[in-house]
Amino acid sequence: MSQTELRDERQILRQAIDASDSEILKILAERRRLVEALGALKAGEYSPVRDTDRERAVIERAVAKGREYGLSDSFVETLFQAIIDDSLRRQRAGLDARVGDAMLTEARVAYLGGPGSYSQFAANAHFSGRYSGVAPVIKRDYAAIFKALEEGEADYGFLPIENTATGGVNEVYDLLRDTNLKIAGEHHMKIQHALMGKASDLGPVRTVYGHPQALRQAQRWLNSRMDLKKVPVTSTTRALERALDEGPEVAAVAGPDAARLFGLNLIEPMISDFEGNETRFVALAVDPAPASPLLPCKTSLVFITSDASGSLVDALDGFRQHGVNMTKLESRPVPGSPWEQMFFLDLEGHEEDKTVAKALEHLSGCAKSVRRFGSYGSDRLKPTSLEG
């Protein structure tokens, strides 16, 4: 076969692959539409969003069918777990908490930065399906986001609260400690830090701008380039603006989608310290509607224990007694009380669940103070196991 014939054959195969991809996407869109219809029926029947027996049956059937087509069990299982996770997200969005009883068509959301920021992409993803759109209320710092909510300028505040690489965002925890706002939802976002600018390669770059969190999460790559000056700025958007305005000697740390949004070149597509880098965001509101009990939920709170020996163990023992799983425990100092600690706690379940209510009652009996931030739909669900 001549080189021309090989090239033509390759083009024919690629066109066939593109057509197959289009059919796959069409089928997935139709499946999503059916899932949303099923979710509406579940809500009408007051049925829980999740049915793990049904999920397991779907995966088992798919794996068996995949074998007939020569597909590996692990590939099919991974694929259908992703499809099921998307289905659950779509159903949960329809039941998730909204501000008060108002069915807003557009949510006013206060977040850090602006176009191209991680918060922008995460907020748009989180509120998709809950509202028709997001009206951004852009703020320069976390305190301003809390103020915008408390003064009625925004319906929601949307902030990063923890990261898999750098841990909790202490400033957000400290602000949350002193507010009466409630958590209305959460969103996990995979973070991929990239270097972008007007330059086509790293050669002319001398200065790199980025939000402090982004610079911290890419410090291995950045520190290995001793000729680069690292400059923290107030937001990813500001870093992108500097890269756009100041010429090829300047670059910004942001997500790859931001390069396309700002028309910048992707100089280095992956500079994160860790591939599994994820940030958890929380949506805050003054008075969110209670989370539906049909949702898999999380509950968040902060408590202070006494100074007695073993007081923390005693306070947490109720969760063990009643089989309630804690997903996070973060300590922060109590202002004005040297060496005294308060503890931010996330747990699985709704605060009105019987087991959770009993565990919280036990906690209240052991702690000096307890303040709840509410129950809300969980964004991260354990995948169904075929061995379950």
Angle 33-36-40 from CA coordinates, rounded to 5°:
140
Half-sphere exposure of residue 48: CA atoms within 13 angstroms, side-chain side: 11
Average pLDDT over residues 87-92: 76
Bridge partner list, 190: 278
Q: How many CB atoms lie within 10 A of CB 65?
A: 11
The reported pLDDT for the residue numbered 49 is: 73
Higher pLDDT, 203 or 165: 203
| CB contact set of 110 (below 8 Å; sequence gap of 6+) | 136, 137, 138, 139, 144, 145, 148, 149, 153, 154, 156, 157, 158
The reported pLDDT for the residue numbered 102 is: 59
pTM: 0.80
Average pLDDT over residues 156-172: 91
CA-atom Rg of the chain in angstroms: 24
Higher pLDDT, 297 or 49: 297
pLDDT tens digits for 34-80? Answer: 888 887 777 666 677 778 888 889 999 999 999 999 999 999 998 99
| CB contact set of 204 (below 8 Å; sequence gap of 6+) | 248, 249
Higher pLDDT, 148 or 94: 148
The reported pLDDT for the residue numbered 249 is: 97
The reported pLDDT for the residue numbered 167 is: 87
Average pLDDT over residues 28-32: 92
The reported pLDDT for the residue numbered 296 is: 86
Provide the percentage of residues in the chain whose pLDDT is more than 90: 63
pLDDT band at 218 (very low <50, low <70, confident <90, very high): very high
Q: Burial-class residue 5 by CB neighbours within 10 Å (0-12, 13-18, 19+).
A: exposed
pLDDT band at 121 (very low <50, low <70, confident <90, very high): very high
The reported pLDDT for the residue numbered 347 is: 96
The reported pLDDT for the residue numbered 383 is: 64
The reported pLDDT for the residue numbered 95 is: 67
Closest CA to 294 of 97, 59, 24, 21: 97
The reported pLDDT for the residue numbered 210 is: 96
Average pLDDT over residues 204-214: 95
pLDDT tens digits for 68-80? Answer: 999 999 999 989 9
Q: Is the pLDDT of residue 388 over 60?
A: no
Distance CA 158, CA 169 (A): 13
- Contact present, 351 and 299 (Cβ < 8 Å): yes
The reported pLDDT for the residue numbered 279 is: 93
Least confident of 38-52, 259-273, 297-311, 363-377: 38-52
pLDDT tens digits for 301-332? Answer: 999 998 778 889 999 999 999 999 999 999 99
The reported pLDDT for the residue numbered 289 is: 83
- Pairing state of beta strands 106-112 and 133-139? parallel
Q: How many CB atoms lie within 10 A of CB 172?
A: 21
Backbone angles phi, psi at 9, to 5 degrees: -65, -40
- Contact present, 151 and 108 (Cβ < 8 Å): no
Half-sphere exposure of residue 172: CA atoms within 13 angstroms, side-chain side: 22
H/E run at residue 341: strand 341-348
The reported pLDDT for the residue numbered 84 is: 87
